[in-house]
Amino acid sequence: MSQDHTTPVRTGAVLVADEVTKAFPGALALDRVSFAARAGEVHALIGENGAGKSTLIKVLTGVYAPDAGTLTYGGEPVRFGTPLDAQHAGISTIYQEVNLVPLLSVARNLFLGREPRTRLGLIDFRRMHRETDAALRELGVRVDVTRPLRSLGVGAQQMVALARAVAVDARVVIMDEPTSSLEPREVRTLFGVIRMLRERGIAVVYVSHRLDELYEVCDAVTVLRDGRVVHTGPLAGLDRLRLVSLMLGRDMGEVRSEGATKFSGDHDPGTQPVLSAEELSLRHTLHGVSVRVRPGEVVGLGGLLGSGRSETAKAIAGALAPDSGRVVVAGAPVRTGSTPAAIRAGISLLPEDRKAEGIVPGLSVRENIALAALPALSRFGLVDEARIDAVVDTFVRRLRIKASSPRQRVGELSGGNQQKVLLARWLAMQPKVLLLDEPTRGIDVGAKAEVQGLVDELAADGLGVLLISSDMEELVEGSDRVVVLKDGAVVAELTGADVTEDALLHAIAATGEAAA
C-alpha cells in the first residue's frame, strides 16, 4: 500500500466491476453490471429494492462470487473467496443493520481479528483500549470502551462499526444505508468522516435512499434498476427529479404527480376519538404522554430518536406495561401491558424493527399474514384453510405484494414487500387503530410511495392511524396532526396549517432550549 507515485492512484479507479453477472434461482440479480469506485471519490449507489445494490455490494466484498464478469482491484484482476480476503485487501463494509457482536466489549468489536499482541502472542488489552478510545474520539464518540457494545445507543454502535471500517487500512469503504438509524447530529458526524475519508484518497461507495444525503456528500452516482446499470456519472448537474425517474423507470411527469408523499385529508375535529391514550407514564421513558386519534385521522408522532415515540406506541399496543395511564379504544378501556388485550380491542402495531419484531422469514407470505389472525380464522381450534386463502388473497391483491406465490418465503422478498406483508398481517385483524412505527424505513422510493398511499387509503376507510417517522417530510405530509415528543413528554401539537417541517423543527428546537 505504500507503493508508487507513478500510477494515478488518486484519480484512478481502485475497485472495478466489469460486466458482472450474478443469478439466483429464479432471478437475475445482476445483469452485466459495470461499476468503478475511484480513489478520493464518494460514489452513490442507488436503486429501488431488488435493483441489485445489495448483490453488487456482496460481490464487491467477497460474500458472493460473480457468475460471470471480472473484478479488478488496484489494477489487477482479483477473486475474493471470502469477506476476510476482501478485508485483508483493504475493502471495508458497513452494513445497514449494525453488524457487530453485542455481548463483546466496544474495544473487542473494534479490533476483532486484528488485536494488537504482546511479544508472547497474547492480546495487548491496554494498547487495544487506548487505541479504541483514540479512534472513537476522532469520530466524536466518548464511551467506556470496556463496556459491552449492546449498552451503547444504536448511533454510537454505528460509529463503532465505522471506526472499525476506517481503522483497517482501507482503500475502499462501502456503506450500506449507514444513516438509517442515526439522528441528525450523528449523520453530520458521519458526513464529516466521509469527507475525511475522501481527503485521504479513499474510495467511498455510499448506498442510501435519502436523496438529500446523496446531494450533500456524493460526487458520482450509479443507478441500478432490475439488475442493470441505467445511469452512471457525476452527481452534480443531475437534478432530483431526473434521478428519481431513473430509479423508478417512470417518466418525469408521472414521478412529479405520484412520487411525492401524499397522505392527506381533513377531519372533523368533532368526532369521538377511536383511540385515546391518557397520561401514559413509564419510568425513565414516558412522562404523562397523551395522544388522541379520531377515525380516519392520521396523527404523526414527532421528535428525535429516543424521545419516546416508539415507547408510546408500544405502551398503547401493550408491548410495554406503563406504570400509569389509560388506553381507551372506541370508548372502552383497554387493559394496559397486555398485547392480546390490545389486539382484541382493535389495536395493531407495525413495529419499528421489521426483522426482529415482525416477520418470520422462514414462513411463507401466507403464513406470515395469517399468523396474528389465526384465532379469528379458526373454528374449534382447527384452522380454516379456505378462509385463510381468501384473506391472504385479498391482501396480496390490495397491498400489491409482489411474490411469486403466497407460498413464497417472506425472507426472499424485498424490504418493501416484507413491510407490506406485515401490514397485511395486522390489517387481517381488522383493527380500529393502526400504529405504524417507521413504516417506510429501509424501503425504496417506489415502495415508500405505495405504502404511504396505502396508509392514506386505510385512513379514508375510517381507520385511526398513529404514524411514527424520522423522515420529517413523510411525517408532515402524511399527518393531519403531529404530536411532538421530547424526552418522553408531549411538548407541542401541530394542527391544520401549522403542520409543516418548519414548525416541527421549531417545536423540537424550542423545547431543546427550554430543556437546557
Partner 1 sequence: MTATRTETTVAGPLADDEPLGASRGERLTALAQQHGALVALLALSAVASVGFDSFLTGDNLENMAVSSAFLAVVALGMTFVIVTGGIDLSVGSLFALGGVLAAWGSQYGTLVALALPLAVCGLIGLVNGLLIARARLAPFIVTLAAMLLARGVLLAVTDEGSTTYLVDESAFFARLGQEKLLGVGLPVWITALLFVAGAVVLRRTRFGQYVYAVGGNEDAAALMGAPVARTKVAVYTLSGLCAGFAGALNAAWLVSGVTILGSGMELEAIAAVVIGGTLLSGGFGFISGSLVGVLLLKVIQNVINQIGSLDSAYQQVVSGGFLALVVVAQTWLGRRRRMV
Interface residues toward partner 1, by CB under 8 A: 63, 82-84, 87-88, 93, 95, 99-104, 108, 111-113, 115, 117, 121-123, 125, 137-144, 147, 150-153, 155-156, 159, 164, 185-186, 188-189, 192-193, 195-196
CB of 115 to partner 1, least distance (A): 6
Nearer to partner 1, 196 or 383 (CB): 196
Cα dist from 500 to 19, 448, 504, whole Å: 46, 20, 6
Whole-number minimum distance, CB 141 to partner 1, in Å? 5
Minimum distance of partner 1 from residue 463's CB (angstroms): 33
Shortest distance, position 149 Cβ to partner 1, whole Å = 9
CA-based max dimension of the chain: 79
Q: Which is nearer to partner 1, 333 or 362 (CB)?
A: 362
Our CB check for partner 1 shows the closer of 21 and 339 to be 339
- The helix or strand, by DSSP H or E, that contains position 484, with its residue range, turns out to be strand 481-486
Q: Which of 455, 336, 450, 453 is nearest to 402 (CA)?
A: 450
What cell does 164 get? 472499525
Torsion (CA) 189, 194, 200, 205 in degrees, nearest 10 = 160
Set of cell numbers at residue 96: 445497514
C-beta closer to partner 1: residue 117 or 400: 117
Sign of CA dihedral 185, 190, 193, 194: negative
Q: Which is nearer to partner 1, 303 or 446 (CB)?
A: 303
Closest CB to partner 1 among residues 12, 83: 83
User: Least CB distance from residue 325 to partner 1, whole Å?
Assistant: 20
Residue 122: Cβ within 10 Å count? 9
Pairing of strands 203-207, 42-46: parallel
**Shortest reach from residue 185's CB to partner 1, in Å:** 7
Comparing CB distances to partner 1, the nearer of 105 and 414 is 105
Shortest CB 306 distance to partner 1, Å: 9
CB 91 → partner 1: shortest distance, Å? 11
Q: In whole angstroms, what separates CA 252 from the centre of its chain? A: 26
Task: For cell 458472493, name the residue.
Answer: 64
The enclosing H or E element of 507 equals: helix 501-515
What are phi and psi for residue 114, nearest 5 degrees? -145, 40
CA distance 480 to 354: 25
Give the amino acid at 408. Q
